[in-house]
Amino acid sequence: MRLYALAVYLFLYIPIGIIALFSFNAGRHAAQLTGFSLQWYGKALDNPFVIGALKTSFTVALISATLATLCGTLAAVALQGMRGRARMLYDAALYVAVMVPGIVIGIATLIALVTVFDAVNPLLLQAFGAEAPQLGLGKGSLIAAHGMFTMALVVVIVRARLQGMDRALLEASADLGAPPMRTFLQVTLPQIAPAVLAGFLLAFTFSFDDFIIAFFVAGSETTLPIYVFSSIRRGVTPEINAIGTMVLVASLLVLITAQMMLRRRAR
């Protein structure tokens, strides 16, 4: 039984180890190890395309995760007090948001936004003349699409925490005459804070790592996963390994933190 578990863990982590191993390879070829070197990290970090893609991914992930956490947390709190048909409808929408495959979200967002832009852009031209701002796919559409999905995720996570919360505390607060807003700020918020932070971290990593939605809605922007995908098409290089190692190590650290926050008991 233990051996079996060990084998599965090896299966899960050896490929990650191999990516890291070959990222330190001195030689150009991914086939044999010819010595230790950090040159591929240097090359990756000197590549303006990599840095540009990294900046785009980081900006999109930061903004979309922040907005998703804000809106998602508020929604989770509001949903706590809701019953009946409206609640069921909301649950269904959240369920659809989490379960519909990323590729369908990507496609749907692409054609919906293009249709809307095609309708609005001529109006903008009419209204403002030749210098009118034109709508198009880009960072904005990435943020909107990623945020929609991660917001649903935040709602699910925060709600799980709210359900585990001691209701007596809320009642005590109300009995002592605290107005609802104050109860929210001083009782509810500190209690759900770890879940909110975990939700933010998950939302950030999801957006940062997402390829499939970005592939459809990025327009002319290049995110880091899009850059990696198009590099893989051209072949395996130690530079991709170096980028991959950095991304994996960073996201593993963030995710383990998030999991720890989720599992920590409320004080």
Partner 1 sequence: MRPSLRTSLFLAPATAWLLCMLVLPLVVVLVFSFGTRGAAGGYVPALSLENYANLGARWAAFQNTLVLAPLGTLTCLIIAWPLAYFLAIKADPRWRTLLLILVIVPFWTSILIRSYAWIQILGGNGLPSLIAELGMGKPRLINTPFAVMVGIVYGYLPLMVFPIYVALEKLDKKLLEASSDLGSPPFRTFLQVSLPLSLSGVATGSMLVFILLMGEFLIPQILGGGKVFFVGNALVDLFLQSRNWPFGAAVAATLVLVMLVTVTLYLRAMKRLSGGRDDVALM
Contact 263, 65 (CB under 8 A): no
H/E stretch holding 28 reads none
Q: Which residue has the tokens 């007596």?
A: 168
**Phi and psi, residue 38, nearest 5°:** -105, 10
What x/- string results for residues 174 through 203 when contact with partner 1 is judged by CB under 8 A?
A: ------xx--------------------x-
Q: How far is the CB of 32 from partner 1 (least distance, A)?
A: 8
Question: Rounded to whole angstroms, how far apart are CA atoms 191 and 196?
Answer: 10
Query: Which of 15, 42, 122, 190: binder of partner 1 (CB under 8 A)?
Result: 15
Q: How far is the CB of 90 from partner 1 (least distance, A)?
A: 8
Q: How far is the CB of 127 from partner 1 (least distance, A)?
A: 22
Query: Which of 81, 84, 133, 177: binder of partner 1 (CB under 8 A)?
Result: 81
Q: How far is the CB of 251 from partner 1 (least distance, A)?
A: 5
List binders of partner 1 among 143-172 (CB under 8 A): 144-145, 147-148, 151-153, 155-157, 160
Question: Rounded to whole angstroms, how far apart are CA atoms 124 and 50?
Answer: 35
DSSP 188: I
List binders of partner 1 among 87-126 (CB under 8 A): 90, 93-94, 96-105, 107-113, 115
Please identify, using beta-carbon distances, which residue of 128 and 186 lies nearer to partner 1.
186
DSSP, collapsed to helix, strand or coil, labels residue 36 as strand
Tell me, letter by letter, the H, E, C secondary structure of 87-140: HHHHHHHHHHHHHCCHHHHHHHHHHHHHHHHHHHHHHHHHHHHHHCCCCCCCHH
Q: How far is the CB of 168 from partner 1 (least distance, A)?
A: 19
Q: Which residues on adjacent β-strands are paired with residue 25? A: 36
Please identify, using beta-carbon distances, which residue of 35 and 81 lies nearer to partner 1.
81
Q: How far is the CB of 121 from partner 1 (least distance, A)?
A: 15
Question: Rounded to whole angstroms, how far apart are CA atoms 24 and 109?
Answer: 39
List binders of partner 1 among 21-80 (CB under 8 A): 22, 29-32, 70-72, 74-75, 77-79
Query: Which of 206, 222, 239, 242: binder of partner 1 (CB under 8 A)?
Result: 206
Kindly list the distances between the CA atom of residue 31 and the CA atoms of 21, 28, 124, in Å, as whole numbers in the listed order: 12, 9, 55
Please identify, using beta-carbon distances, which residue of 128 and 190 lies nearer to partner 1.
190
